[in-house]
Amino acid sequence: MRFKRTLVAALVSFTCLAGTGAAAAGAAVSAEQIAVTTPPTGSVAWLHDHSLGLTMPDPASASATEVATFFAELTAAQAQRLVQTYPLVVGNLDGAPLALRYQANQLAMRTELDRLKREDPQATAQIAMLSTLTQPGHQVIAFDPRSRGLVAEVFGDLATADKVAVLVPGSDIDLAHFGKVQTAAQALRGEEQQVSPGTSTAAIAWADYVTPVGLGADAATSRLADAGAPRLTRFLSGLALTSHPSSAPALFCHSYGSVVCGVAAPTLHATGEVTDMVVLGSPGMDIDNAAALGSGVRLWATERNATDWIGNVPYLEFAGLGHGQDPTSAGFGSHLVASTGAAGHNGYFVEGTASLRNFADIALGHYDDVTG
């Protein structure tokens, strides 16, 4: 395994150094990240809490339907008791009422903010982000302080939105760097409102999985995507019960996030609706073609701009390394999305770009208006 990691790191670093120059200087080969696959802190106590005379849904295995049924049977006082006692559990239970999740995560974030100020004042980026997220008006639908910090925020009224978009980011995104995803989600929703002012929309910045750091073994394999995909699937299952859009939420999967979406795709057809999946800056999706995603997914692949360094990463898969074919390539089966005006790996959500306008049209279901 050590040899495999070394080989991957050397391959990725050489490729980037050969093709990106200054961009590669910031793409340091990273240490392996530990995926978060266990229930949040407090889950053991939650399961052993018999004070309500009810069987508590297991945070590790309960379906969103089971969670929703459980909360529907609670009184308001009982629900508040659980929020106050187990904020990390309630805040991350897919299928729990939205308002309770928002409230629980505010409590959990304030606790973590106080802890960081007291025990780790050098964590300035995390402290700054938590200071922002705990301000009035922020709707945080998932928060877990473990690893580098997992978080997801809702923009718009998710309970009444007719169209919902979920942004799945790639490498180097965590609590400290969550602002990048917030900005993209707000830009997408703003563009939707310009295109269709009468449509109620919501956009979710979903950074609720452990992402790779830099370019190394984690970025070149699907290990973290394999761990993140079930989290995305459960999240979408919860949305199906707690929000009521006219169509399935559209997924916007950036960079390594497109690997997460590719792994999750075969489970998305269960609702009977077609999910629009948009990949941008993709290194590949660990599949041979769009058909492998299943009949429940309509795949859109954003054309890479000339300054996006991801084009220098080899589109291949060998012995579990690499992520396969380029989703924008001929014969892959994607619907192509123009990105005129975009620049760099993170420039696809910039105002005035063809990509942002196309993303809005896809999220709204205006497929005839999308340019390729």
Domain map of the chain by residue range?
1-19+146-372, 42-137
Q: What is the pLDDT of residues 152-207, one digit of tens each?
A: 999 999 999 999 999 999 999 999 999 999 999 999 999 999 999 999 999 999 99
Arithmetic mean of pLDDT, 75-88: 98
What b/e sequence results for 308-331 when a residue is b if at least 16 CB atoms lie within 10 Å of its CB, and e otherwise?
bbbbebbbebeeebbbbbbbbeee
Give the CATH superfamily of 1-19+146-372: Alpha/Beta hydrolase fold, catalytic domain (3.40.50.1820)
Strands 150-156 and 201-207: antiparallel
- Euclidean distance between CA atoms 171 and 211, whole angstroms: 5
Average pLDDT, the chain: 90
**Which range in 147-156, 266-275, 286-295 is most confidently predicted, on average pLDDT?**
147-156
Is 211 strand, coil or helix? coil
- Euclidean distance between CA atoms 249 and 271, whole angstroms: 11
Arithmetic mean of pLDDT, 273-284: 92
- Is the pTM higher than 0.95? The answer reads no
Strands 323-324 and 275-280: unpaired
> Would the pLDDT of 17 be above 90?
no
Q: Any residues with CB less than 8 A from the CB of 224 and at least 6 apart, and which?
A: 33, 35, 209, 210, 211, 212, 218, 256
Percent of the chain with pLDDT over 90: 80
Q: What is the pLDDT of residues 233-248, one digit of tens each?
A: 999 999 999 999 999 9
